[in-house]
């Protein structure tokens, strides 16, 4: 238990909702329509308007969104999908849930996103899909991913869990692949507690996705209730799932979308302040800036490098990073490793007989990365305190 009496307590993230957003959930509660209904449809429409996606389909989480997207495309037993080795475990889990084989590729340590050369090397005759991840809000190289996908006739499902507000040129992420999935976990810019959104520009795929999220029904409960014979039950062309978002969640998400641009702009402003403050620290590499890419800053992931990060130095750097994170915690500042290297987690390590060095850049990111607090609603005093503690430390 942390029993420090630090000058200030700064969490890694904090949800900030306006009073109007809090009140928004009362609408469904008072109407009596609590399940997937008019508020879900409203949220989907606002999401499409913001991202430019033709179809937006609200679901229970980004994980179920990725699962639905692969299932709707026809991915199944015996198929392989390529997943970055450094990502949240859900990206790989959905492949396992559908009976497929996860094939990891390494990352570029500069961006934390997948390495195109290693991705290409991992394509086999059984590869059916690529799951690029827009990690922490920095877009993956979708031109390169799609070039390989077209050459090998592969599906592309974007893991855009962290991608809200992230763009390549003028296009929002989630509009480059066959489908994409976003997350509304509380650490994300828009939150519904739990929840997700699938996007696609494919009309036929959208129909299948809407059916599969709703037990495979040919029409939703809302469509049936608004139709001429609301008392008749829908047919079920598919054996689907129950992965529907509730109207309570969607009301909250829809209300936040009214200030979506401001939320993204604030996170980007906070990141710029950090960038300037830490520019002179050689032992802390701040998030990459890539030409023609807009970072949405779901978080602020850095590489801790008190010495050059190599295979030989990773254990030493990791020990020093953990000590530094502990000292920051005692000062009241919460940090996290940026995320984990999935190939180092027990299930995948044991099933596929993998070692950290099989994907050395992901291993380095796993053991040497650190995310600092960044969230909309973060006060100037909170950020100044974090900056002061980081700059005055001697890791």
Q: Which residues are catalytic?
A: 188
For 166-195, b/e burial (b = at least 16 CB within 10 A) is: bbbeeebbbbbbbbbbbbbbebbbbbbebb
Residues 6+ apart with CB under 8 A from 301: 112, 135, 136, 287, 338, 339, 369, 370, 371
Neighbouring C-beta atoms of residue 59, cutoff 10 Å: 30
Cβ atoms 237, 53 nearer than 8 A = no
Quickly list DSSP for 36-84.
Answer: SSHHHHHHHHHHHHHH--SEEEEES-HHHHHHHHHHHHT--TT-EEEEE
Q: What's the distance, CA 142 to chain centroid?
A: 16
Cβ atoms 139, 116 nearer than 8 A = no
3-state secondary structure (DSSP) of residue 178:
coil
* Greatest Cα pair distance in the chain: 71
């Amino acid at each position: 238990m942390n029993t420090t009496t630090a000058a200030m307590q700064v969490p890694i993230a904090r949800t900030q909702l306006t009073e109007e957003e809090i009140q928004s959930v009362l609408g469904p509660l008072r109407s009596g329509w609590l399940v997937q209904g008019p508020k879900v449809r409203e949220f989907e429409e606002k999401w499409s308007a913001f991202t430019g996606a033709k179809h937006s389909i609200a679901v229970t989480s980004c994980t179920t969104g990725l699962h639905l997207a692969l299932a709707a495309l026809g991915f199944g037993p015996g198929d392989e999908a390529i997943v970055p080795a450094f990502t949240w475990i859900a990206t790989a889990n959905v492949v396992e849930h559908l009976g497929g084989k996860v094939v990891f590729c390494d990352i570029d340590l500069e961006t934390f996103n997948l390495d195109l050369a290693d991705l290409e090397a991992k394509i086999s005759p059984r590869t059916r899909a690529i799951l690029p991840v827009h990690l922490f809000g920095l877009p993956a190289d979708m031109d390169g991913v799609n070039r390989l996908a077209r050459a090998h006739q592969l599906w592309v499902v974007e893991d855009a869990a962290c991608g809200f507000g992230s763009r390549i040129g003028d296009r929002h992420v989630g509009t480059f692949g066959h489908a994409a999935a976003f997350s509304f976990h509380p650490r994300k810019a828009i939150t519904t507690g739990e929840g997700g959104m699938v996007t696609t520009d494919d009309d036929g795929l959208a129909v299948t996705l809407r059916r599969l999220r709703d037990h495979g029904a040919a029409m939703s409960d809302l469509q049936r209730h608004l139709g001429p014979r609301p008392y008749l039950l829908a047919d079920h062309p598919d054996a689907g799932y129950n992965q529907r978002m509730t109207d309570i969640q969607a009301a909250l998400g829809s209300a936040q979308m009214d200030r979506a641009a401001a939320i993204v702009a604030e996170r980007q402003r906070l990141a710029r302040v950090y960038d300037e403050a830490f520019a002179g620290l050689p032992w802390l590499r701040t998030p990459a800036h890539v030409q023609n890419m807009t970072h949405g800053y779901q978080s602020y992931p850095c590489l801790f490098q008190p010495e050059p990060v190599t295979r030989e130095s990773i254990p030493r750097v990791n020990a020093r990073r953990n000590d530094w994170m502990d000292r920051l915690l005692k000062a009241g500042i919460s940090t996290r490793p940026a995320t984990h290297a999935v190939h180092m987690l027990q299930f995948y390590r044991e099933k596929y007989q993998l070692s950290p060095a099989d994907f050395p850049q992901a291993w380095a990111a796993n053991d040497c990365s650190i995310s600092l607090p960044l969230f909309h609603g973060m006060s100037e005093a909170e950020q100044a305190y974090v900056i002061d503690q980081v700059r005055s430390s001697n890791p």
